Amino acid sequence: MPPALQPRQTRHARENAAPFPASSSAQKPSTTFTKSHQYSSSSFHDRLRAGLRDRDPERAKRVKAARERKATRKAAKDAAGKDGKAKKKNRTKPAMLEFDLPPGPADVDAEETAASSSKIRSFHLPRFLARRDIAEDELGVNAELLLSVAPEFASEGTEGTTLEPGQLAYIRDVMKELGPGLLRTVASASVEDMSKTTLVPDMVLRLNDQGSDYPPPTVLLAVYRTPSTSPSTTATQVVLLPAHTNVLALYCSRIPTLPPTPPVPAHVVDSESGTLDPSRVRVPVQPLRLPSPSTFPQLLSFLYTKRADNLSKALLPPGPMSATVNAASSTRAQATLLAQTYTSQALLKHAMDVHGLWSNATVLGIDDDPLWEVIENTWEILMWSLALSVGRPGIMAVSEDVPPEASADGKVGQSSRGE
C-alpha cells in the first residue's frame, strides 16, 4: 500500500449510483423481514437459500444457454487463433489507431468551439479491446474466495471451497434479483469521519436508510490508481467506496483479497445510551489498486444491477445515441451522429473512460458477457466517431483483417508535435 494516502469520499451514493436506478422489474422479497430498523441477517440469507433451491426450468434453461455461449466463444476463439497465426506472420506491431487532435475543451458540442493551436497531439488507441482470456475449465470466479466471504453460497450438504457445476449460474441469477436492493444500501451509506489523512483498518459508515430489508455494506474499498513508473512525492488520492464483499467475490475472480462477511453487521455502540446504534456500522477498509479509479463506480454499479443499457448510457456522450447502442441501427450511423454533435476532444474523453473501465474489468478478472458486449460496442462506436471526426474513416479498415488478439495489450499512447 502506498506510504502516503489522502482519502476522499466519492459522491457515489448521490451521483454515480444515480445513472443505475434499481430495476422496476425487480421483485420485492417474498420473505417477511424484521422491521426494527435493523437488517435481519437470517431473513436475507433465507431469501438467498430459497432462491438457490428454486431451480425452476427457466433458470435451468439460462444455465444451459450460458454453457452453450461459453462453448461457442471457445470455438470462435480457436478458429480465430488459427487464422490469426497466419496473419501475424506479416505483422510485427499490434493494431493501433492514430488520431491527431488539437488541444481544446473536451466537454462542449462541435458547434460551440473552433479549437486551434500550433501544437497537435497524436493519440494512439488500440483498434480492439480484447476480452479476458477464460480457460475452458475455468469458472470465471475464485470459488475459494467467494465461499470464504459468503459461505451462504455453498450448496446445502456440501463442504469445502468448490462450487458444483451450474451452481455459480444459479447464484448469479438470484443475486441479479437482489442486487438493486443491495445497491440502494450502498447509495445510502456515507463515511462518518473524513478527517483522517491515512487509511485505518476500519471505519464507520452512517446509514441513511435504517429500515432497509437488505444488509448494509460489508467493506469500504479504498481505491487508488496504479502508480506510474516515474516517482512521485505527492500523496496518493484514494476514492472510498462502500460495497458488499459477496457481490465483489461473485464477479471479480482476480481481486487480491476480501475480508469475510460478518454474520451480523457490526453496529457501533452509542456513547450516550450504551446501546447499538442501527444508523452506524463499522466495516473493514480494503485497499484496491486499479488502473482507473474514476470509472470503477460505474463498473461496481453494473455488478449490482446488471443493467447493460444504463452502463452504455454512462459511457457514451449524453443524447439519443446512448439509448440506442444495442438497437438495430448500424454502428456507422450512430458514430456519424456523434461525430456531427461532439468535438473530437469530447469523443476522446469518453473513449478514455471506456478504456479505463475495460482496464479495471481486465485487472479484476470479470467474466460477464453483457459487460464485455457493452465495452466492445461502445468502443467500436467511439473509434468510428473519432475517425469520422478527424476526417480519416479509412483507418477503420484495419478491422477487416486484424483479429482482436492483435490489440490485447490495449495500451494508449500520445505525443505532441508542432504544426
Distances (CA, A) of 338 to 204, 208, 321, 413: 44, 40, 7, 23
| pLDDT tens track for 123-175 | 889 999 988 776 555 677 888 899 889 888 876 555 556 776 578 888 898 89
Higher pLDDT: 299 or 34? It is 299
Segment holding 119, helix H or strand E: strand 119-126
Q: Which of 281-295, 315-329, 381-395, 398-412 has the lowest mean pLDDT?
A: 398-412
What is the torsional sign of CA 297, 316, 328, 84? negative
d(CA 245, CA 263): 12
Give the whole-number percent of the chain exceeding pLDDT 90.
36
Residue at 132: amino acid letter: R
Strand blocks (E) in 228-313: 236-243, 267-269, 276-290
Q: Three cell numbers at 341?
A: 454533435
Residue 34 makes CB contacts below 8 A (sequence gap 6+) with 40, 43
State the CB neighbour count (10 A cutoff) for residue 259: 16
Residue at 187: amino acid letter: A
d(CA 181, CA 179): 5
Give the whole-number percent of the chain exceeding pLDDT 70.
60
Residue 268 pLDDT grade (very low, low, confident, very high; cuts 50, 70, 90): confident
Give which of 195, 204, 199, 192 is closest to 268, Cα–Cα: 204
Distances (CA, A) of 129 to 89, 344, 358, 395, 407: 21, 20, 7, 16, 6
Higher pLDDT: 289 or 261? It is 289
d(CA 215, CA 209): 11
Q: Which residue has the cell 475495460?
A: 358
Give which of 87, 19, 53, 20 is closest to 402, Cα–Cα: 87
On whether the CB atoms of residues 269 and 276 are closer than 8 A, the answer is: yes
State the CB neighbour count (10 A cutoff) for residue 358: 26
Say if residue 233 is exposed, middle or buried (CB neighbours under 10 Å; 0-12, 13-18, 19+): exposed
On whether the CB atoms of residues 82 and 379 are closer than 8 A, the answer is: no
Q: Which residue has the cell 441479479?
A: 176
> Strand 219-225 to strand 276-290: parallel, antiparallel, or no bridges (unpaired)?
parallel
Give which of 301, 294, 322 is closest to 248, Cα–Cα: 301
State the CB neighbour count (10 A cutoff) for residue 197: 9
Give which of 116, 121, 119 is closest to 98, Cα–Cα: 121
Confidence check: pLDDT of 58 > 60:
no
Q: Rounded to an integer, what is the distance from CA 350 to the centroid of its chain?
A: 15
d(CA 242, CA 221): 6
Confidence check: pLDDT of 113 > 90:
no
